[in-house]
Chain A
Amino acid sequence: MNPALNSGLNSAVNAGMAPVATPWFFYGLAGLAVVSGLLVITRRNAVHSALALIVTLLAVTGLYLMLYAPFVAAVQIFVYAGGIMLLFLFVIMLVNIERSSKDRQFNRMWPVGLAAACALLALFMTAFVKGKALFPDRMMAMPESSNTQQIAGMLYGEAGRMGEYTFAFEIASLLLLVAILGAVIMTKKKV
């Protein structure tokens, strides 16, 4: 992991130097994400798939950092790579690997999935090629201040003003709470 990726724009500008997020990093990380993503769906051993998925997530984290979104990157590591994948592994480890690895891996829906993937790819390509022309007003401006604070402002509001997504955020957390309670009730014999 190259620390230079992590720089904030402000300090970089202060230092009088250009940021170092070169295309090479992008291609490297993107390639890693794609290759490990393929491994996720092709490995027969579930633990190997999970490990590949972690690599994918970490590669995506690197991409976030390149986009000057360190907070999102940190959350990605924290929540996905650190938390969710750990629980995944936890479950997979206790599953009978020998049996599951003999199971048929692709179900018959794979043409549909392939079509969906191709459609998604097409969408991305379009956005990439024609994006600036299609949505000129949404062109991303380089963030002035740290985007951590912007996220905070959107979620919680600032200077006495309610945030844009405060309500949605709280509702989502309530939903999660319900999910947790449901899981407890389902697994525990006597609550």
Chain B
Amino acid sequence: MAEEAKPPVPPPPPEGEKKPAAEGRAAPASAEAAKPAAPAKPAGPVPVPWTSPLVEKYKGQYGSGLDAQTYLGQNYFAVDRSLIPDILRLLRDEEQFDYCVDITAVHYLQREKQFDVVWILYSFPRNERVRVKTQIADGASIPSSVSLWATANWLEREVYDMFGIQFDGHPDLKRILLPDGWKGHPLRKDYGILQQDNEWVQINLGIESGQ
């Protein structure tokens, strides 16, 4: 299960002629380079492998289930779904990533595993950010991290509300921004921007047209 290796970096395609230094703030020179991009092929920095003792440690521990990259100076782990609880717990307990900045998701309609779930973590002692990403299929669930960071409660509820991703072990997983009876998850790519739950509007708001 964990051995199912995946292509490490889902979104950025590998073509790109420039490799800026791993340091985040790009020099003006690279800005110059980025600018005249023709519509056809956007030039830009590509992710480079992230090397640090932390990465070494976890690489050794988890091997191919885990991939560490740096893009524009921002580090992230692409992690196999099954490793998520371990990695998050280790990051919090051993690496002092004590602050969960955000939990969100990205929907890729064409992919087999449709969703990227992203945790953005920050460590007060290290003054360092890291992102943890994993891919899950539509309808699959993912362990909740409320027990690790209390803040995950509402953040996960919002992800559930907007994408329909289930979080196992969440104390109160229900919609947060949309009303309870709403059908559909609006931030999915197959949910049109003009689309509405007309039935809900008609029943609850008494608006005949449903808009």
* A–B interface present (Cβ within 8 A): no
Interface residues in chain B, defined as those with a beta carbon under 8 Å from any beta carbon in chain A? none
